[in-house]
Amino acid sequence: MIRAEGLQWGTPGRPLTPPLDLRLAAGSLTAVVGANGCGKSSLLRVLAGLQAPLAGRLRIAAQGLGAVGYLQQQQAIDRQFPIELAQLVAAGLWRTRLPRSARRQRLDAALAAWGLSELGGRPLVALSGGELQRGLLARLELTDAPLLLLDEPAAALDEAGQRLLWRRLAAWQRDGRTQLVVCHDLADVREHLPDCLLVGADGCRCGPSRELLTAPLVQEA
């Protein structure tokens, strides 16, 4: 699904890491782990096509509009934008040609899956951080994108919301969707994310989470 050779990213003349060589198979579920400022979010923006790499080659098997779903951090969302939660979630259906009744069924199912059925008519400004985060994840689910890039999806979620998140990510993997997930909680990574890309100024390492996240390597990150 993703192949990178000598990939570097950051600001011109100041790459955040040495060149990255990476192979991620379709249907993989991979954590992106590292210290603050190491370039995790920037890497996702490069993979999403929103930021140009500084060097290297990048090939992503998913091509075309809607092939990549990107969950950005919540602070990038304008909470004052005058739409309701259901309208935000329904934006995930922008590419579908389903009839209106089928679109409504899919929207209702996504709202129910994320525990939002009673909140569809609430404006964004009236939502809690966790409710908005679940809405953004429900919108992502409706895109049907084969590649999902999730930047701190557990942010603002309470314990119940986090349990729901990990169940849905596992379901997406069973559906064959490839996922990269920026996550700071190493216990969650070990439990829920089988593979890990460890990003650091001295280089990047990729491998099984339970093997890679040993104390010395994490300290180096």
Strand blocks (E) in 16-54: 20-24, 29-33
**Please, what are the domains in the chain?**
1-62+146-221 (3.40.50.300), 79-144 (no CATH)
User: Which single residue is written with the structure tokens 């969950």?
Assistant: 71
Q: What is the pTM of this model?
A: 0.92
In whole angstroms, give the CA distance from residue 189 to residue 46.
22
Q: At a CB cut-off of 8 Å and minimum separation 6, what does 181 contact? A: 29, 30, 31, 32, 150, 153, 169, 193
Burial track 51-62 (b if 16+ CB lie within 10 A, e otherwise): eebbebebebeb
pLDDT in tens, 95-119: 888 899 999 999 999 999 999 999 9
pLDDT at position 65: 77
Task: Read off the DSSP letter of residue 7.
Answer: E
Residue 167 CA, distance from chain mean position: 15
In whole angstroms, give the CA distance from residue 121 to residue 213.
43
pLDDT at position 180: 98
In whole angstroms, give the CA distance from residue 35 to residue 53.
20
Q: For the chain, state the CA radius of gyration.
A: 18
Q: At a CB cut-off of 8 Å and minimum separation 6, what does 193 contact? A: 29, 30, 31, 181, 183, 209
| Dihedral-angle region of residue 37 (phi above 0 means left; psi in -120 to 50 means alpha; beta otherwise) | left
pLDDT in tens, 60-80: 998 777 899 999 998 888 989
pLDDT at position 220: 40
Using 50 as the pLDDT threshold, list the residues of the chain that sit under it. 217, 219-221
pLDDT at position 217: 47
**How many other C-beta atoms can be found within 10 angstroms of the C-beta atom of residue 92?**
23
